[in-house]
Amino acid sequence: MEKVELKFLRITYSHTHAGAYALILAEVVGDRRLPIIIGGVEAQAIAIQVENIKPARPLTHDLFKNVADTLDFNLKEVIINDLVEGIFHAKLVVEQGARAVEIDARSSDAIALALRFDCPIFTYEPILSAAGLKVEEGEEEKGAEAGTPEKKEKKGRDKRSITGASIEDLQSMLEEALDNEDYERASKLRDEIKRKEQTN
């Protein structure tokens, strides 16, 4: 069966599932997108890797990576290999020396691990044909700009409280956000600290 390589694109709030997120994968060669609905915990596990935030103690996927490094096995690739009643299934292709094994996994866990191992992500053409979305140029930007007035107002308040703070205050807020495991706010604070350091 023909494999299609995918890359991580982004995570967004799901408009159809309350309290859930949409993990968006994009075709490496092509213009189709594969949205996968995941929970908040799974989204956080992916987001902290994408944002390069280091938690105080290893999270589950980081622990798996540490075990792999210690025992000298490697995640060669991740394959989203099935779609059953709207739920994506995945498998990990793990190599240890000349031996390779396939391990069943949830798609969200598989993507979180693929990002940590920096390995390719694939799916099969029939799955992408069935569940993929073709995105016209400029359509994604419009979607990203959309949002409820309440969300926009909250974002504006967050931005004011962060942009008006000194680097010392931002460092303090960053430590607090990490202690509270609020990784989304931590990434915003980290970006603002970098911006202020570059302009000073």
Residue ranges of domains in the chain, CATH in brackets: 3-143 (3.10.690.10), 147-199 (no CATH)
Where does the pLDDT of residue 181 fall: very low under 50, low under 70, confident under 90, or very high at 90 and above? low
Question: What tens digit of pLDDT does each residue of 42-74 get?
Answer: 999 999 999 988 888 999 999 999 999 999 999
Q: Cβ neighbours of residue 167 under 8 Å, at least 6 residues apart?
A: 193, 196, 197, 200
| Whether 196 contacts 167, CB under 8 Å | yes
CA 181 – CA 191 distance, rounded (Å): 17
| Whether 25 contacts 7, CB under 8 Å | yes
CA 73 – CA 96 distance, rounded (Å): 4
Checking DSSP bridges between strand 87-96 and strand 74-84, what pairing results, if any? antiparallel
Tokens encoding 89 = 């299934």
CA 184 – CA 58 distance, rounded (Å): 17
Give DSSP secondary structure letters for 82-108: EEETTEEEEEEEEEETTEEEEEEEEHH
Q: Which residue has the tokens 């598989």?
A: 110
Average pLDDT, the chain: 83
How much of the chain exceeds pLDDT 90, in percent? 48
pLDDT of residue 157: 42
Q: Residue 109: is its pLDDT beyond 90? A: yes
Where does the pLDDT of residue 153 fall: very low under 50, low under 70, confident under 90, or very high at 90 and above? very low
Alpha-carbon dihedral angle through residues 58, 61, 62, 68, given to the nearest 10 degrees: 130
Mean pLDDT of all residues in 158-168: 70
